[in-house]
């Protein structure tokens, strides 16, 4: 009888390790933009630790083509107006929907969940993003 107890006790522990992979880390814009970004400089450790994590963050959608229908790629930003001008490099996340998926934007804030990539991406001589999110869900 003892031989069966140990495996049964170990089962909940094994299941808890698989559940850890599904954790959504809540992130806010203060974490992402609460520092002065300089091209080529190391990002803060608290930001670098988010690389590869599944995060959830709330913000406003700004489609890359200006459309509000069938959006497949967009910027997620903290504010819904251009009151302070264009967002700084560390104030937006470039988000992409899964292949074949799109959504319509009604202007209200959304919560976006997905896997975050952190680090500078360049196109030619220009940095185009430091945050990218592969979207898995929009609430």
Query: Where residue 106 sits, what CATH number does that domain have?
Result: 2.40.50.870
Nearest to 97 by CA among 86, 87, 105: 105
Q: Is residue 66 part of a domain?
A: yes
Closest CA to 50 of 64, 37, 31: 31
pLDDT given for residue 22 in this prediction: 65
Separation CA 132–CA 73 (nearest Å): 11
pLDDT computed for residue 79 by the predictor: 86
If one counts the domains in the chain, the total is 1
> What's the confidence (pLDDT) of residue 83?
67
What integer pLDDT is reported at residue 34 of this predicted model?
Answer: 95
| Residue 73: per-residue pLDDT | 96
Task: Tell me the residue range of the domain where 27 lies.
Answer: 21-138
Our CA angle for 122, 127, 133, nearest 5°, is 80
| pLDDT average per 10 residues of sequence, the chain (139 residues) | 44 38 88 95 97 97 90 93 80 96 93 97 96 96
Whether 102 maps to a domain, the answer reads yes
């Amino acid at each position: 009888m003892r031989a069966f107890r140990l495996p049964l006790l170990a089962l909940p522990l094994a299941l808890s390790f698989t559940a850890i992979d599904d954790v959504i880390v809540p992130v806010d814009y203060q974490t992402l933009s609460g520092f002065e970004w300089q091209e080529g400089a190391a990002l803060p450790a608290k930001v670098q630790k988010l690389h590869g994590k599944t995060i959830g963050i709330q913000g406003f959608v700004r489609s890359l083509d200006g459309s509000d229908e069938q959006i497949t790629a967009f910027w997620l930003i903290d504010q819904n107006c251009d009151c302070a001008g264009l967002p700084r490099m560390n104030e937006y996340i470039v988000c992409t929907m899964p292949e074949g998926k799109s959504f319509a934007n009604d202007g209200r804030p959304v919560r976006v969940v997905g896997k975050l990539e952190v680090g500078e991406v360049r196109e030619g001589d220009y940095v185009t993003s430091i945050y990218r999110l592969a979207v898995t869900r929009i609430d």
